Amino acid sequence: MGILRRQALCLLLLASCAVPTDPSDRGIHRRLQPVQLSPLLAEVQRRAFLYFWETADPTTGLVPDRWPTPSFASIAAVGFALTCYPIGVERGWITRDQARDRTLTTLRFFAHGPQGPESSGTIGYKGFFYHFLDMTSGTRFGTVELSSVDTALLLMGVRFAARYFREDTPEEAEIRTLAEQLTNATDWRWMQPRPPRIAMGWKPETGFLPADWWGYNEAMVVYLLALGSPTYSVGPEAWQAWTSSYRWGSFYSFEHVGFAPLFGHQYSHLWVDFRGIYDAFMREKGIDYFENSRRAVLSQRAYAQAKPQGFQDYSKNIWGLSACDGPADVTMEVNGRQVRFYTYAARGASHTEVRDDGTLCPTAVVSSLPFAPEVVVPATEALYRRYRPWLWGVYGFLDAFNLTFRFTQVPV
């Protein structure tokens, strides 16, 4: 059995979600009923929060991409951390003053960090930030790209903090000022070398990356921020281009806009409640993006229950494919057929693609709680009950596990 020792960056759960009576219900929205978190889910929340609180550098606010392996900082993880701190206050895990001070430190670091077109010694350029930063120097790590989507995830955390810290004090006023400064500095029009789509990134050595963001995936938040920018807003044709590449289809009887890894159906929903919000595409289909994510979750569960590839332990309560670590980049025989295994990969299953090597990701399950609590709660409990000795750590569930792969069969 392979249990991968990367610590999961579990997203904090929402405390209230829809509770449909039937998992196969494809209606738009039932009346919402509050969900009382079980002791296990409450502990998953607390440990996920502690990851961001305890591993962040208190002098910069930078959060490592992984733990305990020495790691560079992820700017997306910083955006998640900025979102977690107010939740920690509301849950009673830290004080408001503690959250305020850590948030202010983080925003000062990003607002005052060096920006420019140089290939080293900077934190970003044109208001965007590099995907990964060196945990020690705080500047670009290696030759990574200036990332539009990771900048967007960071900025959503920044905006969340600005909305939470509304008290009339100098410190909280500075948080709001810095948040506005960071938001206004991001030049979304510059990140459109092939308008109206937005590029995935830029490197000082080679210029813009050749790929643009097209739907559907985690980059919906990129277009939302770009459309709403008070200084460098893009035109509505950008959203039309984004939705023009949607792939609608059915997977295990659940019709939805497809994207195979579940993180693409989760990230934007961290900050935007899409219930009852429709664009032209979704209005025609008769559902909103929240319902779309719900169907993606339920279809993945149905896929695991069907076990079309025969991977070990897949069932109605053991499922969850998303971007995560994996055992090895090798091909080996499993049950009489050749299976390609991967290390880090964006695993998933939908009508658009199936990329599955038997590696399951607890974050894919737990972070789906808002969309389908009636299947996520028993799945989370099953993961904990069956695999706790190998899969549960100081910060909750580890990143991933694979019960089909045998390390004794292949040199790694």
pLDDT recorded at residue 412: 58
Residues 6 or more apart in contact with residue 90 via CB below 8 angstroms: none
Q: What is the architecture, at CATH level 2, of domain 56-252?
A: Alpha/alpha barrel (1.50)
pLDDT grade, residue 408 (50/70/90)?
A: confident
- Answer yes or no: is pLDDT of 19 > 80: no
pLDDT at residue 33, rounded to an integer: 54
Q: Which of 14-23, 99-108, 256-265 has the lowest mean pLDDT?
A: 14-23
pLDDT for the residue numbered 294:
99
Is 187 within 8 Å of 127 (Cβ atoms)? Answer: yes
Q: What is the CA radius of gyration of the chain?
A: 21
Which of these ranges, 158-167, 231-240, 330-339, has the smallest mean pLDDT? 330-339
196-231: b or e for each residue (b if 16 or more CB lie within 10 Å)?
Answer: bbbbbbbbbeeebbeebbebbbbbbbbbbbbeebee
Instruction: Give the integer Cα–Cα distance in Å for 68 and 95.
Output: 26
What is the SS3 assignment for 336-348?
CEEEEECCCEECE
Kindly give the interhelix angle for 148-164 and 96-112, rounded to the nearest 10 degrees.
140
* Residue whose token pair is 């299947």: 375
Q: Pairing relation of β-strands 396-402 and 359-360?
A: antiparallel
Q: Domain ranges for the chain, please list them.
A: 1-36+273-412, 56-252
pLDDT at residue 410, rounded to an integer: 67
Q: What is the mean pLDDT of the chain?
A: 93
- Give pLDDT tens digits for 29-85: 444 455 578 999 999 999 999 999 999 999 999 999 999 999 999 999 999 999 999
